Amino acid sequence: MKPTLLVLAAGMGSRYGSLKQLDGVGPNGETIMDYSVYDAVRAGFGKVVFVIRHSFEAEFRKQIVSKYENHVPVEVVFQEIDSVPQGIAYDKERVKPWGTNHAVLMAKDVIDTPFAVINSDDFYGRESYQLLADFLTNVTGQVGRYCMIGYHISNTLSESGAVNRGICSVNEQKLLTSVVERTKIECESGVIQYPLEHGGYETIPNASLVSMNMWGFTPDYFAFSEKSFAKFLTERGMEPKSEYYIPTVVDELISNNQATCEVIDTPAKWFGVTYAEDRPQVVLQISKLIREGVYPQQLWK
């Protein structure tokens, strides 16, 4: 049974104003998401599920989904603020959905295989998809066997400004023990560092592994997430900006010894458009990969 790719794209409409404003970074207007789906399909993923908002469904199906339909089965699910368990109260003035793990939960009825989770606007690299596909294929039929693709922090920085990253700690078995969010990370004179609260800087070794929100789960993750989300809403549903994140749920499962999460070290270089100034560099990176034969000149013929 082939694994499924779950693409978190519900923030796309609000982030760009219109899907037409999704920048093409490839020679034929291909988006970063096009390269992600291409990498996943050739790595062995058997289906792609997109999490979007109802408000741009028609445009998304026309511009995005249509190009993949002859290459891989595609489904679309929806993340909305009112996608919550029946009978649970929440802040009716809220304007944004409930975060990344809420988005994952929206796919529970259409995924019954081990599955990967990615952001729609991050370039993860073909090596990472192959590592994910191999792991997920091997855990078919098991429960509580998760993974996270760990990037060397030096492969995830922006030349245009500071970034936030989740610094990972692992044990001797390469299992995740914690993810700590660090902010305002920059490379100065070859040294990667972030500012401390009371002054000064902390250095981060170049090979430190960070989370870029590229996960692998077995389907039991949905059942736990349903219970966890109900608890989250009961405790924090009235907060206008509370967020239900994937690392929070994974950490709870690890702490309760209900699951393990293997951190898989990838050699791939991540890139994305964190800043508008990043776009020319992304275009150059894609062009270089095409010249090297990693991608064809035209992805979806």
CA distances from 140 to 87, 107, 259 (A): 34, 18, 15
Q: pTM, whole model, 2 decimals?
A: 0.91
What integer pLDDT is reported at residue 99 of this predicted model? 84
Q: Where do the domains of the chain lie? A: 4-291
- Rounded to whole angstroms, the maximal C-alpha distance in the chain is 55
pLDDT at 17: 59
User: According to the model, what pLDDT value does residue 212 have?
Assistant: 94
pLDDT in the model for residue 18:
58
- The predicted structure's pLDDT at residue 248: 87
Q: For residue 276, what pLDDT is reported? A: 76
Phi, psi for residue 52 in degrees, rounded to 5: -135, -175
Can you tell me the distance from the alpha carbon of 30 to that of 299, in angstroms, rounded to the nearest whole number?
A: 8
Residues 6+ apart with CB under 8 A from 98: 81, 84, 229, 232, 233, 242, 243, 244
* pLDDT value of residue 59: 87
Per-residue pLDDT of the chain (301 residues; tens, 9 = 90+): 899 999 999 876 665 555 655 778 899 989 999 999 999 999 999 999 999 988 888 888 988 888 998 899 999 999 887 777 777 777 777 777 778 999 999 999 999 999 999 999 899 999 999 999 999 999 999 999 999 999 999 999 988 888 889 899 999 999 999 888 888 999 988 899 999 988 899 999 988 999 999 999 999 999 999 988 888 888 887 777 778 889 889 989 999 999 999 999 999 999 887 777 888 888 999 999 999 999 999 998 7
- Class of domain 4-291 as given by CATH: alpha beta
